[in-house]
Amino acid sequence: MRIAVVSDDYKQVTGKCGKARRFLIFSGEMGGEPQLMARLELAVEQPDYHDLHEDEVTPHPIDGHVMITGEAGEGITERLARRDVDVRITPETDPTTAARLYLQNALPASDPHPHNEDGTCPGDH
């Protein structure tokens, strides 16, 4: 399986997953050890998931992956599930440790943040 860890600096697990443009891509099997396969940075012309808010057809390189992130909202987790992306929100900050804990079914979890009453995202976007 492929695990995409959101990491703005390729050193720590970061968020927001909808605006993420950098990922560490791991490969591994449940119960095994993760192997770092690649650093992925979306090209300027490639849309992030926030850009694809209303679009479930345009492919994204993380479609079909497990995505580990430090932060995500309820709406994005629901939309990404329709793209076969299994979003896991965690307080774990080390990318390799996060991937390993996921494969051991032991990744600490955080809840997605709710949207505002008017349906908008809280925060800076």
The per-residue pLDDT for 115 is 65
Which residue's structure tokens are 């987790």? 77
- Pairing state of beta strands 22-27 and 2-6? antiparallel
- For residue 86, the enclosing domain spans 2-103
User: pLDDT for 70-103, tens place per residue?
Assistant: 999 888 888 888 889 999 999 999 999 999 999 9
Q: Flag whether 123 is in a domain.
A: no
Q: Flag whether 20 is in a domain.
A: yes
| CA–CA distance, 81 with 86 (Å, rounded to integer) | 6
| CA–CA distance, 6 with 9 (Å, rounded to integer) | 9
C-beta of residue 125 within 8 angstroms of C-beta of residue 16: yes
Q: Flag whether 124 is in a domain.
A: no
27: exposed, middle or buried (C-beta count within 10 Å: 0-12, 13-18, 19+)? middle
Q: Flag whether 28 is in a domain.
A: yes
Q: Flag whether 119 is in a domain.
A: no
Q: Flag whether 108 is in a domain.
A: no
- Mean pLDDT over each residue of the chain, to the nearest integer: 90
Residue 82 belongs to domain with CATH number: 3.30.420.130
Count of the separate structural domains present in the chain: 1
76: tokens are 């994005």
| Higher pLDDT among residues 17 and 86, named by residue | 86
Does the bond joining 16 to the residue before it have cis omega, within 30 degrees of 0?
yes
Q: Flag whether 38 is in a domain.
A: yes
Q: Flag whether 77 is in a domain.
A: yes
The per-residue pLDDT for 123 is 58
> Binning pLDDT at 50, 70 and 90, where does residue 4 land?
very high
